[in-house]
Each structure stands twice: as structure tokens, then as C-alpha cells.
Amino acid sequence: MAGQAPIIFLDLDDTLNRHFGAPIEETSVSALRNLYEVGGLLGLDLGADIFWASERILRETAHFFPFLFMLLATGRQSYAWSPSLQAYVQLPIQAQNKGEAIRKLAEYLNLPLEQMLFIADFPASGVDERQPGIDDPVLSERVGVIVNVGSQHCPEGVRSVFEETLVLNPECTETHSAGIGHEATIRYLACYTELLKHKGYAEHMKALRSALMCALEQKLNLSTLPSRDHQLWTFERPLEEATSQRPVLIRVKGNGIVHAGVERNGAWVRIYDIPLKEVSPGIWEAYVLDPQVNVFTFIWYATNRSGNPHWQRKNYFLPRPLL
């Protein structure tokens, strides 16, 4: 990976949280935030789809930093962050597993696969020991670095198909183990953060990150409106008519994600997921800056962090002509 800025993809369960099904740990959020602030390139590669990823991760991270890429639903949903739109845009990429998702993203971005780094716990399949676990397909891709923070393969660890891939496994003996769980992930992230700080790479990394996302926005041919002079949409006063020359500001009384899209002939041809931001106690807002968006709904976060988010289960239409 010499001379390349690694894009770090992370699993959630037993990698950024304490156990399966739990939300991301606050200490993990802090470690990721610190790395992002010095130019880190961060991504997710999860079994969870956007519904669960938003509740268990984005709810805690969105007001601090974005993930540049999210490979969700075991490769079936791929997102990239659009700085101009302040939204996650779904990419025209679909894969059958986590490893293929990373490879297809690298191909789409025209980046070497060796630039990708993957951190996960590599659990067994849980059904048949001969079947691969959810993270195992990454071992068959020529990524640059694989970091195993799981204990299920101790003491032998996991191995990549490719000798040139650096694989870091926990240290396990009968009486001692190290390098396991979200605490190990935090230490890896902290070491990389310190490297970027002390070597003076932060500004260079930020410039690389900005150039990468700018090039991606151009590839996607995204249209963007300035956030000023908006049209306001609320449940109490939904827009009866919206122009395509002004952005839409959605204002609600609950926390979650605006799931928006461009609908043509009954199909959503482009999908955005826009985190709502709390602007005053009990009031959340999100800008829809793509002038072609004409439909949206909501993913509402669980009240009292009960772990049960829900869809609005109704689409709201913006009656404006497509450009």
C-alpha cells in the first residue's frame, strides 16, 4: 500500500460494538471521528441494510462525520457520501458478498484493490462449519490489508488467498488473548490517527479525500442547488407545488433519515439517504439539494434508543417537473 491512501472498511458487530445487534460504541465513534479529522478515508462493509445501519451507526455518527462509502446488505446496497448534497447517494453497484462489494467499488472508482483495508471479526457461519462466514469472501480478494479482531479463529487466525495481502490476527494462547473486539479496532484506528498527525500527512489526506469525492460526484453527474432561498416542507404544511430552481428544506419533529429519490414511471431511478440534523430542541431538518428529487419518505430512529426504528410507510411527493 506504499504511496496509496488506504480506504478503511469496517464491520460493526464485535468490531465497532460490544456484541451482535448492539449499536456502535461511543468510544468507537470517538476513534473514527479523530481519524476522519486528520483526513482518514472511512467506509462500512456490513450485513445490515440502510434501515439498520442508520439506527445502529449513523444515528451516533452523522452529526460528527460521514462515511465516504457504505457497502450494506452484504453487498446489495452501495452508497457514497456526496459533500455537495450532504447526502448518501446509492451507487449503481450490486454484489453478492462483502468481498465482491469492495472489489466492485474499487473498479467503479478506478482505484487499485490493494488500497482497501478491511477490519472485521470474521465469525463462523453458525450453520455449517464448512460454510464461509459473512466476512470470509474478503479473504479471496486482493485487498491490501485485512485486520481480524475476532476470536473464533484463534489461535490459527484467518488467511488470505493472496500472499501479498497483509493479514493481522489476534494473539491467542491458552491463558492470554490480545487484539480482539472493538477495543482492538479502536487501538488500530488510534495508531493510524497518530501516524497521520505526527508525519504531517493530515492536509495531504484531506486534499486526496476531497478530490476523490469530487471526482465521484462528477462521475455520477449530480445536480446541486445552493441551500439558500429554500422551499419549506412540513407535515403541517406540505408543499402543494415546488419549483426545480430552489432546494426543499424538510422540517420535522423527529430524528431519523430522509429516504428520497427520483421517481420515473413508478421506479426510483436514484436514491438518497439524508441524515436529519437537530437545529433546535425537538426540531430536525434536512435539505434536498438535487432538483430532480420528487419523492421521499422517512426512516425514524427508535425512541429512547429501544432498537426498533421504523419506516414512515408512506411516500410524499414533490410536484415539480423533472429537469
What b-and-e string marks burial along 255-279, b requiring 16 or more CB atoms within 10 Å of the CB?
bbbbbbbbbeeeebebbbbbbbeee
- The residue from 220, 254, 269 where one domain ends is 220
pLDDT tens column, 80-121: 999 999 999 999 999 999 999 999 999 999 999 999 999 999
What b-and-e string marks burial along 34-56, b requiring 16 or more CB atoms within 10 Å of the CB?
bbbebbbbbbbbbbbebbbbbbb
- Whether residue 158 is predicted with pLDDT greater than 70 in this model: the reply is yes
Tell me whether strands 231-233 and 248-252 are parallel, antiparallel or unpaired: parallel
First to last CA, the chain: 43
- Whether residue 227 is predicted with pLDDT greater than 80 in this model: the reply is no
> Under DSSP, is residue 81 helix (H, G, I), strand (E, B) or coil?
strand
Backbone angles phi, psi at 29, to 5 degrees: -60, -45
- Choose from 20-34, 141-155, 227-241 the range with maximum mean pLDDT: 20-34
Alpha helices in the chain (DSSP H): 26-37, 50-53, 59-61, 98-109, 181-198, 202-220
Tell me whether strands 316-317 and 295-300 are parallel, antiparallel or unpaired: antiparallel
Does 235 lie in the same domain as 151? Answer: no
- Whether residue 131 is predicted with pLDDT greater than 80 in this model: the reply is no
- CA distance to 38, 319, 323, per residue, from 316 (Å): 39, 10, 19
User: Mean of the pLDDT values across residues 33-55?
Assistant: 97
Does 52 lie in the same domain as 188? Answer: yes
Q: Domain tally for the chain? A: 2
Model confidence at 228, pLDDT cuts 50, 70, 90, reads confident
Q: Are 164 and 145 in contact (CB under 8 A)?
A: no
CATH number of the domain enclosing 137: 3.40.50.1000
In a domain, 264, yes or no: yes
Model confidence at 140, pLDDT cuts 50, 70, 90, reads very high
In a domain, 187, yes or no: yes
- Lowest average pLDDT, out of 58-72, 176-190, 305-319, goes to 305-319
Range of the domain at 90: 7-220
Model confidence at 2, pLDDT cuts 50, 70, 90, reads very low
